[in-house]
Amino acid sequence: MIEVYYTNFREAAQDLLEIVNHALPGKTLFLTKKLPDAYSIEKVLDNDTGVKIKEGDIVSPENTY
């Protein structure tokens, strides 16, 4: 068994998105943080799908599904 230790969120998030990308290729993948009344986009893996989402965006739950 290989043990991997991360020193920061960015490294771990990038690896997680790349693993998910192998299962769901060609999708825009992102990790969010739940805020009291919105979502904060923390990390994005863009596969040139045309989805215009970027790290640091704040998204209202009414605009999601």
Task: Give the number of other CB atoms < 10 A from CB of residue 30.
Answer: 20
pLDDT band at 3 (very low <50, low <70, confident <90, very high): confident
Q: What is the pTM of this model?
A: 0.78
In the prediction, which pLDDT does 62 show?
86
State the average pLDDT for the chain.
91
d(CA 65, CA 56): 19
